[in-house]
Structure formats: C-alpha cells, structure tokens
Amino acid sequence: MTQPVAMTEVWRGPFLESIHLGHAVICDDTGQIVRSWGDPNALIYPRSSCKMVQALPLVTSGAAAKYGLGPEHLALACASHSGAAIHTDRVSAWLHHLGLHDDDFRCGPQEPSDMAARDGLILADVRPCQMHNNCSGKHAGFLTLAQHMGAGPEYIEIDHPVQQACRAAFEEVTGESSPGYGIDGCSAPNFATSLLGLARSMAWFASAADRSDRQSTAAEQLTAAMIKHPELVAGEGRACTELMRAMDGRAAIKTGAEAVFVAIIPEKRVGVALKIADGATRASECAIAAILVGLGVLDADHPATRKFMNAPIHSRRGIDCGSIRPTQDLLAPL
C-alpha cells in the first residue's frame, strides 16, 4: 500500500507547526487515472461527498418529477448545509409538501453552523430540530423516495428499499462492489469505496451530458442544480459555496466529513476525489483548491482561493501568525 503524501502545511512564524498527509486522484471519463498522489486504492468512506450519488435514485425513480422537485430541492439533497434560514425554510416547505413533519426525519438534531440561525434559536429558547441537521436536504430526498416507493418510515435502515437503491447506484457509478458500510453522523449508511472508485464516479458525473441513459440524465440534473445553487450546497463563507462561486459554473464540488473532497468538472470530463488521512477539513479545503488551480478551473488570485488555499492564521486580536498552505507537489500544473 502506498503511503499518504504531504498535502497541506501549517506554518506559524518561522517554523512548520503541523502537517497533513493524504491521497488524491484525478480520473477521466474512461475511468483512467490522470494523476494521483498517495494511494488511489485507499479504502475510504466518502461521507457527505457522495450525496449527489445518494440522490440519483430520487431522480431516476421518477420521484423528483412526481413531487415537482426543482433545482433548489436537488441542490439541498446534495448539500451539507449550514442550517441558515435559506436552507431550513426550503427543507421545511418540502417536508410540508410531502405531508410530513420534523419527527419523520431520522437524521437527528444539530445546532446550525450559521451564526445568525444559531443565535436566533438561543434567543427564542428553541432547541435545534432535525431540519437544522446539515443533512436534512438529503433526508428530505430519502423521505420523498420512500413515499414514492410506498416503503416504510425507517428509511435509514440498511435493508430499506431507499438504502438498497442508494447502494446499487453507488456501486454502479464507482464501478466497484462496496466492501461494507459505516453509519454516518446523520445515522444513514455510508458505503466504503476506493478513492479511485469515488473519483471515477465523479468523472462519470462530469461526462453525463455525453450520454442519454436515465442515470446519466439524472447526474446531469444534479450537477447543474449544485452549480446553480452554491449557496444551498453549503452556506455563506464556506468552501463549497465560495469556491463554486469563484469557478462560476465550471465545476461542482462537495466536502465530506473526515476530510474528503470531490470535484466534478464537466468541461474537462474529469472527476477528483481526495482524502486527508487524519480527517482535517482545513487541509482538504486547501488541497482541493490547489488541485482545482492546477487543473486550470480556479483562479489562484481569486479572494476565495486565497481564503481556502492559503488560509491566513490570525491571533484573536487579528495579528498575522502564519498560514495554511498546499505543498508544491499539489500545486504543480498537470
């Protein structure tokens, strides 16, 4: 097994303070590796980075069309949102449209990462609900599919038709049979894959417009929804939202817990998947930005790029203390 390689350095004053190692793969639409760092065969949990894959059955089943879901709904199904009003208002309306309530979710409650929403709940003395969970859009998609299928309410059980449909879609687009699953923070199953399998699935999304099968058409719709609504995929100030805006429609990207990041780049027909071995999000954000710069789809001088690829470290009085930087190897153009 190839060891992970240095991807992100944390500098403070004159010295390297911390370092993050990882694996990354860029894959083309024939499933071939364009470039890799570390071990392309590293076994990973994609976590939330594969939400667009988990959303495929929602579209291919006809459920999305039947329930009138538009790009905003599909973007939320692919989102790890901040629990801001723009997210929870839409998820709440979606749930209402299904004739369901917050108690029908199985994702569990979560305090919003959006500060205004968080403070609003505290001021109103209201505890966070399940719709505040960053995965509530994905779960609204699961509930929609379950209703469409006439399946039972425990939609996160491994043998529930919704999860079986997710597994089938996941194995089809990664081109691998998953060796097993873990339970995600939102209590849904998360299927393991090789990093290459995940990159392959993203390249398959990137080239979906070249094909006319039902699965590819769904992939194209989901990618378009993410690109149209970067503010729904994450939230103000966050990497997915800001970097997608900076690329102005050239790519869809998605973070996952424990430092997974993926990118779908339709104009190049390539997919990217990376995993920082220690699970640090600050490093995966820096690394994906560097790879996107290397691929020529993200401007190195854009303020969003500087924010995530060379994040300054400030003291609590605003003094410049250091920065989080990609390694040179990661930055080299293809």
CB of 130 to a copy of itself, least distance (A): 8
What is the size of the binding site for a copy of itself (CB under 8 A)?
Answer: 48
Angle at the Cα of 142 (from 43 to 76), degrees rounded to 5? 85
CA 58 to chain centre: 17
Applying CB under 8 A, which part among 81-89, 215-223, 295-303, 310-318 lies near a copy of itself?
310-318
Answer yes or no whether residue 312 interacts with a copy of itself by CB under 8 A.
Answer: no
The residue within the footprint of a copy of itself, chosen from 60, 82, 110, 163 (CB under 8 A), is: 110
Answer yes or no whether residue 311 interacts with a copy of itself by CB under 8 A.
Answer: no
Answer yes or no whether residue 12 interacts with a copy of itself by CB under 8 A.
Answer: yes
Q: Which helix (H) or strand (E) holds 55?
A: none
Is 156:93 a contact under the CB 8 Å cutoff?
A: no
CB of 211 to a copy of itself, least distance (A): 32
Q: Report residue 22: phi and psi, to 5°.
A: -165, -175
Answer yes or no whether residue 91 interacts with a copy of itself by CB under 8 A.
Answer: no
Cβ closest to a copy of itself, residue 150 vs residue 319: 319
The β-bridge partners of 270 are 28, 265
In the block, tokens 């699935």 appear at 201
Answer yes or no whether residue 272 interacts with a copy of itself by CB under 8 A.
Answer: no
Taking CB under 8 A as the criterion, which residues in 279-298 touch a copy of itself? 279-280, 283
Q: What residues contact residue 65 under an 8 Å CB cut-off, 6+ apart?
A: 59
CA 200 to chain centre: 15
CB of 204 to a copy of itself, least distance (A): 23
DSSP state of 13: T
Which residue intervals of the chain are DSSP H helices? 51-54, 56-60, 63-66, 71-77, 85-97, 115-123, 136-149, 161-174, 195-206, 214-228, 230-233, 239-247, 281-294, 303-309, 328-331
Taking CB under 8 A as the criterion, which residues in 17-46 touch a copy of itself? 17-21, 43-45
Compute the Cα dihedral for 191, 194, 196, 200 and give only its sign: negative
Answer yes or no whether residue 92 interacts with a copy of itself by CB under 8 A.
Answer: no
The residue within the footprint of a copy of itself, chosen from 1, 14, 159, 212 (CB under 8 A), is: 14
Angle at the Cα of 221 (from 220 to 226), degrees rounded to 5? 100
Answer yes or no whether residue 153 interacts with a copy of itself by CB under 8 A.
Answer: no
The residue within the footprint of a copy of itself, chosen from 68, 99, 150, 318 (CB under 8 A), is: 318
Query: Rounded to whole angstroms, how far apart are CA atoms 66 and 272?
Result: 32
Cβ closest to a copy of itself, residue 8 vs residue 221: 8
Applying CB under 8 A, which part among 76-84, 275-283, 294-302, 325-333 lies near a copy of itself?
275-283
Answer yes or no whether residue 333 interacts with a copy of itself by CB under 8 A.
Answer: no
Answer yes or no whether residue 1 interacts with a copy of itself by CB under 8 A.
Answer: no
Query: Rounded to whole angstroms, how far apart are CA atoms 138 and 169?
Result: 15
Taking CB under 8 A as the criterion, which residues in 227-266 touch a copy of itself? 258-259
SS3 297: coil
The residue within the footprint of a copy of itself, chosen from 98, 278, 299, 306 (CB under 8 A), is: 278
Q: Which residues bind a copy of itself (CB under 8 A)?
A: 10, 12-15, 17-21, 43-45, 106-110, 119, 122-123, 133, 179-187, 190, 192, 258-259, 277-280, 283, 315-322
